[in-house]
Amino acid sequence: MAKFALSSVVDVIAAAVDISPHHIVVVIRHTDVVPEQAASILKAWRSNGVIEEVEYHDDAERKARKGVRVVEANRPGRAA
């Protein structure tokens, strides 16, 4: 799996207008992995601080929801 593919997945998640906890589909669509591998990638990103869970207000549903956001400083390929 190319580093470019993983970076493009992070780009899609970072650009998401509404934050969704179902980014496993994004990983699958941008890489050649099965759902279990996509879940493993997201789990690694969460534990490495690339993505973090946040609470946001869903205007359509008028309630608080949980989603994910990208921590730019921790993106893959970024120098510390």
pLDDT tens string 29-56: 888 888 889 888 888 988 999 988 888 8
Q: The pTM is what?
A: 0.70
Determine the angle formed by the axes of helices 35-48 and 3-14, rounding to 10 degrees: 70
Rg for the chain (alpha carbons), in Å? Answer: 13
d(CA 13, CA 17): 9
pLDDT of residue 29: 82
Write down all domains in the chain, each with its CATH number in brackets. 3-74 (1.10.10)
Q: Is pLDDT of 64 > 60?
A: yes
pLDDT of residue 3: 55
Residue 73's nearest CA partner among 43, 52, 55 is 52
